[in-house]
Amino acid sequence: QVQLAESGGALVQAGGSLRLSCAASGSIVSISAMGWYRQAPGNQRELVAVISSGGSTNYAYADSVKGRFTISRDNAKNTVYLQMNTLKVEDTAVYYCNLKAPRWYGGRDYWGQGTQVTVSS
């Protein structure tokens, strides 16, 4: 019912920029909050950024990426983006797109397959 496909991961130098995309399909995409998570080897999966569904948009970012990363969504394209600037080596991780269904739809989480971001020093 819901499918998420991340793209845009790459090898970049520290200080560089990268834009991740998450193409979402499914009837509930437009009414669901979405976000980006990441997981580095040896670390737990952590929240990077979340964005609410249409209307008055709410955002939340991990402290480690505030001021550097920006999450946005294009509802017409059912796509969520993560603009990553001033990348640091510590940003290296597999980045996962997430969709959180509304509670009245069950509230389950859907995940993409992940895209690798590697930041070199």
Q: Using pLDDT thresholds of 50, 70 and 90, give the confidence band for residue 31.
A: very high
Residue 25 CA: distances (Å) to CA of 37, 57, 76, 99 = 19, 20, 12, 10
Q: Which SS3 state, helix, strand or coil, does residue 91 take?
A: helix
Per-residue pLDDT, 67: 97
pLDDT in tens, 56-84: 689 999 999 999 999 999 988 899 999 99
* Mean pLDDT, all residues of the chain: 95
* pLDDT at 1 > cutoff 90: no
**pLDDT exceeds cutoff 70 at 55:** no
Q: What is the pLDDT of residues 92-101, one digit of tens each?
A: 999 999 999 9
